[in-house]
Amino acid sequence: MEVYGAVQGVGFRPFVFRLAEDLDLAGWVINDTRGVFVEVEGPRERLEAFRDRLVVEKPPRSEIHAVEAAWLDPAGFEGFEIRHSDPGGEKTVVVLPDTATCDDCLAEVFDPADRRYRYPFTNCTNCGPRFSIIEAVPYDRPNTTMRIFPMCAECRREYEDPRDRRFHAQPNACPVCGPHLSLVDADGRLLAERDDALEGAAAAVEQGRILALKGLGGFLLIVDARSQAAVVGLRERKARYEKPLALMAADLDGARHLGEVSAEAVALLTGPEAPIVLLPRHPDAGVAEAVAPGNVFLGVMLPYTPLHHLLLRRLGFPVVATSGNLSDEPICIDETEALARLGGIADIFLVHDRPIARHVDDSVVAVVAGAPRPIRRARGYAPLPVRLDGPAPTLLAVGAHLKNTVALSVGERVFLSQHIGDMETVQALGAFERVIADFLGMYEAGPVAVVHDLHPDYASTRWAEGAVAGEGRLGGLPLVAVQHHHAHLASCLAENGGGRALGVTWDGTGYGTDGTVWGGEFLAGDAAGVERVAHLRPFRLPGGDAAVVEPRRSALAALWEVMGERVWDLGDVAAVAGFAAAERAPLGRMLATGFRTPTTTSCGRLFDAVAALGGLPSRVSFEGQAAMLLEHAVDPGVNDAYPLPLVEGSGPMVLDWGPLLEAVLGDMRRGVPVETVAGRFHNALVEGILAVAAAAGEPRVALTGGCFQNRILTERAAARLEGAGFEVLLHRRVPANDGGISLGQIAVASARWGGGKEEIA
Ligand code: ZN
Ligand code: ZN
Ligand code: FE
């Protein structure tokens, strides 16, 4: 917590000390350049009591004007101490994330008597932009993109008045002195300004047109979510055909019309992070089918700046609000770039003159096993650190390939970047390089090594090799390669206090230490090293990654593994019969010879295979889509499971899905509905996990990797394992998917630093 106001020289630190002791909380307090900084640790209720009592019981001569707070990882402090300012000490700058508009500011924006009535850039010390406007630390106005707006006399008075809510609110602004809106067409011609611009944008959305809105951390594309034509038009222009689109509702009531809002979801939607939350969809949600085709969830967020509040209240209906980009490229942040890249997508642009310092996408969170689980970590969360169980050398980790993030360790803290995206476009690589330069600059860090994925062909790996070979600040540094699934496990361990566990690391693909494609691994160990104790039965996958959009190819390949070329005789299996005669010969040759046909243990591809056999689409448009459809198909009443025997031999144990596939085929032939097949398949995986856990003998089991975004798999596996006496570790701070890899890379490289321990036995 940063406490602002008249808090120095008035006995404030001893007061904080006594209050912490009284509530039996650990941590420390220090005077800094802006007030008093406190880190305090303990149970959440007592921390909330601490915050409340801090304000109420403050020393008589002190005045508190604002408290900025963020939730950090537990540090394991013992006792509470008063620290003395040490200008030469370690840089422990915590750059705070962007925070959704607070209730006080919102009330002002909608109060006709207030001088900030309808002002879209209203903020205070309790809310507003931070990470997206900070150009350098310390966080002071001259170091933000707000430096180009000199404060008017009234704003300056607030800024300098210790009794004001805007005391030292760096982005403080008002209609007189601050940023303003403009409405421009796709050719960049000015159409309207200020309130007229907002009105023009709203009218365009009402008419079914596509609006590009310059928001907090980048551009959003907005259309009327009720209009199938508008949503389909957006999908076509954006080349995003089936991936679910996020919605923005005007308020909590609006969100409740769209989906089921649990208590956890309310806390997320209305909290300072205000992410997109996956809500179980209402059958009568009233949005176009094209918003999330075939999906049982809707991704919903609430307005998080006054600009979004003003637009949504004016419209009175939910909108699609999706990243302003083409397909999987990074989000656009400035007007020139937006007009160039989004000119063919958006009809009209609502922009403003406050520069965005860096891209920050909307975060995505699902509530799984009773707690929030991040899927995409950006606005509201980044760049808050995750704390390791001990100090790490300063390391830069460059992440994986898809859903890339990077990480930087400084002391015990690992600063995790915002979501960067799939490293498949020039734009993504550019954003990746900017984020790395940004992090190294912001934390004034001099890494001692660069950590990357073991995969030799990842763009991030190649970049790391180039960087250490070059003349720049990373030139000459050693490289550390970390196996992908070891990084998944280490990531989950790092945010659960370290130690060791059996890692069920299931995802689509990752480069294995034997050069094959892993993805159905059971790795037992810790950050320093693991043993591959078991894996899913391997099979040859013709074309490798080409199969991610063609689930029937995974079905064919898995069946080939079980029955060889007799697979072509399965004329009654649609997924197989669908291959044209001309496709069969080359596929058969690839499977027989292994040419361009990597061996894989991928759980993601096994999901694809079962989905295709179950009659779900034989082609999809994004990785994991078939698996998602299979998850959503599950009949919750199905309690039995397909056979998935655990086979022990000389090497790692193997979960053999051969009998499972035979059983799926049998069920399909008998006309068993796909809902039942999906249920039996999920249950089989759960039983398989339990069998390996029982054989491995590790008391803790971590569920990590992209497959554990699957709510049914995660919740059932966690419940079954806990019922059998295991401690289950799940992600809470970073995604289970590859967005969490950079944290794991730091943890592994740090544990091995100077030790040279063999990574995977
Ligand atoms: Zn505020
Ligand atoms: Zn002003
Ligand atoms: Fe992965």
Q: pLDDT tens-digit profile of 622-639?
A: 889 999 999 999 999 999
- Quote the ligand 3 centre to 755 CA distance (angstroms): 26
For residue 587, is pLDDT > 50? Answer: yes
The span from the CA of 95 to the CA of 384, in Å, is: 7
pLDDT of residue 755: 63
Q: Which residues pair with 540 in a beta bridge?
A: 599
Per-residue pLDDT band at 758 (split at 50, 70, 90) = very low
Delimiting residues of CATH 3.30.420.40 domain(s) in the chain: 511-699
Q: Any idea which ligand is nearest the CA of 517?
A: 3
Is residue 125 within 8 A of residue 68, CB to CB? The reply is: yes
The span from the CA of 176 to the CA of 684, in Å, is: 64
For 341, 344, 364, 555, 697, the CA distances from 238, given in Å and listed in that order, are: 10, 9, 20, 30, 49
Assign 586 to helix, strand or coil: helix
For 60, 96, 155, 522, the CA distances from 166, given in Å and listed in that order, are: 22, 17, 8, 52
Assign 308 to helix, strand or coil: helix
The span from the CA of 215 to the CA of 274, in Å, is: 14
Q: Which residues are placed with Cβ below 5 angstroms of ligand 2, an ion? A: 152, 155, 174, 176-177
pLDDT averaged over every residue in the chain:
93
Per-residue pLDDT band at 70 (split at 50, 70, 90) = confident
The residues, ordered by sequence, that sit 6+ positions from 590 with a Cβ below 8 Å of its Cβ are 540, 542, 543, 596, 597
Q: Quick one: tokens of 138?
A: 């310390």
For residue 86, is pLDDT > 60? Answer: no
CA nearest to 250, candidates 264, 270, 272: 270
Which tens digits make up the pLDDT trace of 680-731? 999 999 999 999 999 999 999 999 999 999 999 999 999 999 999 999 999 9
Of the options 3.30.465.10, 3.30.70.270, 3.90.870.30, 3.10.50.40, the CATH number for the domain spanning 95-381 = 3.90.870.30
- Quote the ligand 3 centre to 738 CA distance (angstroms): 5
For residue 388, is pLDDT > 50? Answer: yes
Q: Which residue shows structure tokens 């006594």? A: 18
For residue 89, is pLDDT > 80? Answer: no
The residues, ordered by sequence, that sit 6+ positions from 658 with a Cβ below 8 Å of its Cβ are 537, 561, 562
Buried/exposed 501-517: b ≥16 CB within 10 Å, e otherwise: bbbbbbbbbbbbbeebb
Q: Which residues pair with 411 in a beta bridge?
A: 392
- Quote the ligand 3 centre to 749 CA distance (angstroms): 18
The span from the CA of 499 to the CA of 520, in Å, is: 22
The residues, ordered by sequence, that sit 6+ positions from 499 with a Cβ below 8 Å of its Cβ are 389, 493, 526, 700
For residue 40, is pLDDT > 80? Answer: yes
The span from the CA of 332 to the CA of 360, in Å, is: 10
For 350, 400, 404, 673, 734, the CA distances from 744, given in Å and listed in that order, are: 39, 11, 13, 40, 10
Q: Any idea which ligand is nearest the CA of 68?
A: 1
Which tens digits make up the pLDDT trace of 484-540? 999 999 999 999 989 999 999 999 999 999 999 999 999 999 999 999 999 999 999
For 83, 398, 450, 477, 481, the CA distances from 437, given in Å and listed in that order, are: 32, 12, 13, 16, 21
Helix axes 711-723, 625-633, angle to 10 degrees: 60
pLDDT of residue 91: 46
- Quote the ligand 1 centre to 342 CA distance (angstroms): 31
CA nearest to 577, candidates 623, 620, 612: 612
pLDDT of residue 139: 75
Which tens digits make up the pLDDT trace of 154-212? 999 998 876 788 877 889 999 999 999 999 999 999 999 999 999 999 999 999 999 99
The residues, ordered by sequence, that sit 6+ positions from 313 with a Cβ below 8 Å of its Cβ are 110, 250
Higher pLDDT, 755 or 242: 242
- Quote the ligand 1 centre to 107 CA distance (angstroms): 9
- Quote the ligand 3 centre to 707 CA distance (angstroms): 9
Query: DSSP secondary structure string, 607-676?
Result: HHHHHHHTTS-SS-SSTTHHHHHHHHH--TT--------EE--SSSEEE--HHHHHHHHHHHHTT--HHH
- Quote the ligand 1 centre to 514 CA distance (angstroms): 54
pLDDT of residue 90: 44
Task: Tell me the CATH architecture of domain 2-82.
Answer: 2-Layer Sandwich (3.30)
Delimiting residues of CATH 3.30.70.100 domain(s) in the chain: 2-82
Per CATH, which fold does 383-484+741-752 belong to?
Nucleotidyltransferase; domain 5 (3.30.420)
- Quote the ligand 3 centre to 66 CA distance (angstroms): 41
Helix axes 484-494, 741-752, angle to 10 degrees: 90
Delimiting residues of CATH 3.90.870.30 domain(s) in the chain: 95-381
For 256, 404, 456, 515, 747, the CA distances from 512, given in Å and listed in that order, are: 44, 19, 11, 5, 19
The span from the CA of 615 to the CA of 572, in Å, is: 12
Q: Quick one: tokens of 369?
A: 């096993």
For 362, 363, 455, 719, the CA distances from 418, given in Å and listed in that order, are: 10, 9, 22, 31
Q: Average of pLDDT values for 462-475?
A: 96
- Quote the ligand 2 centre to 378 CA distance (angstroms): 29
Q: Quick one: tokens of 359?
A: 């891209």
CATH number of the structural domain 511-699: 3.30.420.40
Delimiting residues of CATH 3.30.420.360 domain(s) in the chain: 383-484+741-752
Per-residue pLDDT band at 444 (split at 50, 70, 90) = confident
- Quote the ligand 2 centre to 175 CA distance (angstroms): 6
Cis? peptide before 138, omega within 30° of 0: yes
Helix axes 625-633, 603-613, angle to 10 degrees: 60
Q: Quick one: tokens of 691?
A: 């069998």
pLDDT of residue 121: 98
Strands (E), 190-230: 190-193, 211-214, 219-224
Which tens digits make up the pLDDT trace of 312-350? 999 999 999 999 887 677 888 888 889 999 999 999 999
HSE of 479, CA atoms in CB hemisphere, 13 A: 19
CB atoms within 10 A of CB 253: 9
Assign 302 to helix, strand or coil: coil
Radius of gyration of the chain (CA): 27
Q: Any idea which ligand is nearest the CA of 400?
A: 3
